[in-house]
Homo-oligomer: A and B are copies of this chain.
């Protein structure tokens, strides 16, 4: 991991880029690991917040998943293949809805935002 503090590219971006490459090239295997926030921060001598921000990026991209109290885990792509009927149905419905939105040139970011909202609403309803 090489950091250039002088670069115009933000440090957190440099970190994210290198981790992304390592994940995609299989240096980090699905379903475990990635160095802890504090360990990596110490190692490359930057603040934990900076590493945190890099991890945040990867989370947002869906490459990695943070489990509170446990660590950062590389997402297992296989686990994402729909299998049960409910999931299959959900997948198809989402595909359709998203397709229409994309067609109407709603930005991917907005789609994500709307999805997050929708999920949250449904989960809180379900809790009652």
> Which residues of A does B touch, CB under 8 Å?
2-11, 13-14, 17-18, 20-21, 47, 60-63, 65, 67-69, 75, 79-80, 82-84, 86-87, 89-91, 93-123, 125-128
Alpha-carbon gap, A6 to B50, bound state (A)? 20
Cβ-defined contact, A21 with B121, below 8 A: no
Given contacts A2-B102, A47-B69, A113 and B80 within 8 Å (CB-CB): yes
A88 to B73, CA, bound (A): 34
- Chain A, interface SS category: helix
A101 nearest CB across to chain B (Å) = 4
Q: Smallest CB-CB separation from A75: which chain B residue? A: B113
Selected from B3, B94, B108, the residue in CB contact (under 8 A) with A4 is: B108
**How distant is the Cα of A5 from the Cα of B65 in the complex, in angstroms?**
10
- In the A-B complex, the 3 residue pairs with the smallest Cβ-Cβ separation, listed nearest first, are A86-B104, A93-B97, A4-B108
